[in-house]
């Protein structure tokens, strides 16, 4: 994925949805990157964050769950989107 393929309007909408979901999970909307990483670990996920020269990529894994891969325009946006996806995957697995 390159930075050209990122749709910032779509990303903004998705980040807003992710922020609302995370707020319901007890993660404040103003949470910084370090705390977002801690939330992954608190829920048992291993997370890798990479600056890909123009966009950010997050890869998160947890034994017994589908891995989560997300790209975004900023580190914060990408972590927020990935954490939301990881927690939703956990909810689905726990209730599925």
pLDDT tens, 41-76?
A: 999 999 999 999 989 999 999 999 999 999 999 999
What structural domains and CATH numbers belong to the chain? 3-95 (3.30.160)
**Contacts of the segment 63-71: beta carbons below 8 A, 24+ positions apart:** 64/93, 65/89, 65/90, 65/93, 71/1, 71/6
**How close are the terminal C-alpha atoms of the chain, in Å?**
31
pTM of the model: 0.87
């Amino acid at each position: 994925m390159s930075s050209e393929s990122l749709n910032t309007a779509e990303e903004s909408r998705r980040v807003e949805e992710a922020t609302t979901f995370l707020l319901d999970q007890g993660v404040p909307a103003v949470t910084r990157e370090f705390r977002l990483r801690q939330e992954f670990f608190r829920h048992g996920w291993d997370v890798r964050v990479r600056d890909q020269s123009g966009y950010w990529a997050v890869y998160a894994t947890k034994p017994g769950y589908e891995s989560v891969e997300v790209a975004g325009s900023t580190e914060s946006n990408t972590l927020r989107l990935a954490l939301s996806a990881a927690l939703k995957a956990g909810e689905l697995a726990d209730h599925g």
